[in-house]
Chain A
Amino acid sequence: MLVLVALPMVMRNPYYLGIMVFMGIYSLITIGLSLLMGYAGQISLGHAAFFATGAYTSGILTTKAHLSPLPAFLAAIVLTACIAFLIGIPTLRLKGHYLAMATLGFGQIVYVALNASVDFTGGPSGFGEIPRIALGNLVVESQLARYCLVWALVVIVLLFSLNLIHSRVGRALRSIHSSELAANAMGVNTSKYKIQVFVLSAIYASIAGSLYAHFVTFISPGSFDLEFSILLVTMVVVGGMANVWGALLGTVLLTLLPEFLRGFKDYDILIYGSTLLLIMIFMPEGLFGLVKKLRSVRGRM
C-alpha cells in the first residue's frame, strides 16, 4: 500500500506512470484469473474476450449512444456477467484440456465477431474517440489521475478477493481444487461455486476493459486476441498460481520486463524468453513460491 502511494511521488515521468497504469489494468484481470485458476482449479484461455466485452461495451455506449462513462461502465459489468454466466454453465462442466479448449473457443468466437460486425464494432480497423472518464469537471486525463484511479480499483478488488478467500466461499473453492469429487461428497455445491468465481473473474476483466477503452480512447480487435489470453495466464502462472499475491507479482514482472528490455534492442525477445524459461525451470511454483522458500530459509536460520 505504502509503495503504491509513494511511487508517483518519486516517479514523476509520465512514461513510467503509463506503464504502471497498464500494470494496474492487467492486475485487475490476473487477480480474478488467480481466483479461478489457483483457488478453484479451473483454467480459462478466453479471458481476453471478457476484457473485450468490457472495453467494447463501454466504448460503444459512450461514443454511439452518448452515455456517460459511469452508466456505460456498469452496463459493461452486467453484460459481461450475463455472458460469463451463460458460457460458464456448459463449459465449467468440462475438465482439464476440454475446459481449456472450450474457453479458448469462446475467446476466438468473440474475436471473430468483433472483426465481422463491421457496422457495430468498426471491424478490424476498430474505432476511436472514446471519451475520457470525467466526474463532474474532473477529467481523468493525466497519467497521474489514471494511475490513482486504476490502483484504487486494484486495491478494492484485492481486498475483496482476499476477504473472499478467507471466507467460507474461499474454503469451498480450495476444496474443489484439491478434489472436486470429495468436495461434492462433503456437501459443497461445486458447480455453483465454480460458476460464481468464473463470473466474478469475468467482472474483474470487464472493469479492466472499460478502463482500457477510456484510457487509450481507441480499441480494435487486435488487442483482444488469443495471444492476450495466453499472456494473462502466463502472468498468473509465472507469479505463482496458488496465491493472489503471486498473480500480482507475475503481472508486475511481465509488464515491466518488456519495457526494461527495450535497452537491448534486438535481443529483447531472447532475454524475455530465457527469463520465463529460467523461472519455470527453477521455480515451478512461480515467483511467489520463491518468496515462500526464502521466508522458510530465513526462519530456519
Chain B
Amino acid sequence: MSKLNSKWMGLFCLSMFLLMLISGCAKEKKAYKIGALFAITGPASWLGEPEKKTVEMIVEEINAAGGINGQPLDLIIEDTVGDETRTVNAVNKLIEKDKVLAIIGPSRSGTTMAIIPIVEKAEVPLVSCAAAEAIVSPVAERHWVFKTPQKDTDAVIRIYEHMQDKGIAKIALITGTTGFGDQGRKQLKKYAEKMGITIVADETYGPGDTDMTPQLTKIRRTDAQAIVNWSIVPAQSIVPKNMRQLGMTIPLYQSHGFGNVKYAAAAGEAGEGIIFPAGRLLIADVLPEDHPQKRLLTEYKKAYEERYKEPVSTFGGHAYDALKLVIEALQKAGPDRTKIRDELENIEGFVGTGGIFNFSPEDHNGLTKEAFEMLTVREGNFTLPE
C-alpha cells in the first residue's frame, strides 16, 4: 500500500506541476492575436517545419520593431499533424478560445478543405498555405478564404508552354496519390488537349513507395517524348533515379512541389537537368537586380538561412506571404475580422515571395502564371535554364 501510494503521489505531483505550467501560459498581455495552423509534425512536417520557423522569425522582427500600430503581435501556432480531425479541433480552439483576428495555414490542401466550412460560418479570415485550387474556387462560396501558393493550372500551363517550345507533343504522367498529386493529375489532363499535348501514359505511386520501376517500364514501352512527375512527397526523387537505372533519357518535368533543394539532393546525379516551374525564391541570387522581387527574396533567404542554417524552401515562403498579407490588412483595418477580410480582398501590387499579389472579389489567390519561372537543376542547385 505504501509503495503504491508513493508512486501515485509522484504522478499526482507531476500532473499538478503540469497544470501550473499551463495556467502560467494562459496569462498574456493584450495583443493582436493571429492564429497559425501548420503540419509541424507528422507526414507533412517538411511543409510545416519551414513555415513555422519563418513565421516565428517574422513575429520577432515585428515585435522588436514595435509591433503593429503600436500593438504587439501574438501569433498562436498550432500543430495540425497534417490530420483533419486535429485541424478541426485546432481551428475551433483558435476561433472560440483564443478569439484570433485571422488565421494563416493550414499547410495541406485536405486539412484546409476540412476547415473551410468552419471559418466561413464563424466569419474569420483564413489565408491558406496549401496548393489546391478548390480552396479559393468557387470564390462565391469562399468569402473568407484566401491562399498564397501559386495555382496548379498556372504550373501546368507553364510546363506545357515549355514543351511546345521544345516540340514535345506526347507525354507520360506519373503522379503521387496525395491531394497535391491528384489535383495536378486532373489539371494536367484537363489542359493537355487545349495545348496540343497527348497523354500516352497515366501512372501513379503512393507517398510511401520506394520503387517506381514498374510504372516507368510501362512508360518506356510508349512513345512518350517527356515525363511529368507531379508530386509533393519525398518519394518523387526516386523517379529520376529509376529512370536512370532503366536508361531512359527523355526529359523529366516536375511540379512546383519539387521546390525544396533537398529533393534535388536526394535525386543525386540523376536529378541533373530536371525542369520544373517554381516561384523565384529558389533563384533569388541569380535574379536580375531590377526584378521587383529581388530585394525581398534575398533578404528573406539571407535572414532564414543565417538563423536556421538550412536552405529556404518555397513552402516557408508561402507562410511568409500569408502572414505579411494578414499584417498588411491588419495595419489598415485594425482589430476587426470583417474589415481585415475586406482589406485583404483589396490588396494590390503586394510583392511576396510567391509573386506579385493582386487580390479582388473574383480572385482570392491573386497570382498569375508570371509568378512561375521555369527552373532546372545544375550541379545539385536550382538555376535558370540556359
Contacts and interface: CB of A to CB of B under 8 A. Distances in A.
Bound pair (A, B): yes
Interface string B63-101: 000000000000001110011111011101101110000
Given A18-B89, A268-B79, A282-B7, A128 B116 contact: yes
B93 A220 contact: no
Interface string A249-289: 00000000011101111101101000000100010000000
A287 B179 CA distance: 38
Nearest to A12: B96
A22 B85 contact: yes
Contacts of B117: 128, 217-218
Interface in B202-241: 204, 206
A14 interface: yes
A147 B77 CA distance: 27
Interface stretch (B106-114, B257-265, B272-280, B376-384): B106-114
B11 A278 contact: yes
A19 B89 CA distance: 6
Contacts of A217: 117
Interface string B1-34: 1001001000100000010011001100000000
Contact of B84 (A115, A118, A222, A259): A222
Given A123-B177, A125-B183, A258 B93 contact: no
A297 interface: yes
B11 A123 contact: no
A269 B95 CA distance: 23
A118 B114 CA distance: 18
**Interface size class of chain A, counting residues whose CB lies under 8 Å from the partner chain:** 35 or more
B178 interface: yes
B84 A124 contact: no
A218 B84 contact: yes
A18 B182 contact: no
A14 B124 CA distance: 15
Given A125-B183, A126-B113, A297 B89 contact: no
B179 A220 contact: yes
A171 B22 CA distance: 46
B350 to A, nearest CB: 28
Contacts of A89: none
B181 interface: yes
A293 B18 CA distance: 25
Lowest 7 CB-CB distances: which A-B pairs, in order? A15-B96, A15-B92, A263-B22, A125-B179, A18-B92, A124-B182, A218-B114
Interface of A: 13-15, 18-19, 22, 112, 115-116, 118, 123-126, 128, 143, 216-218, 220, 222-223, 258-260, 262-266, 268-269, 271, 278, 282, 293, 297, 300
Interface of B: 1, 4, 7, 11, 18, 21-22, 25-26, 40-41, 77-79, 82-86, 88-90, 92-93, 95-97, 109-110, 113-114, 116-117, 132, 134, 177-179, 181-183, 204, 206
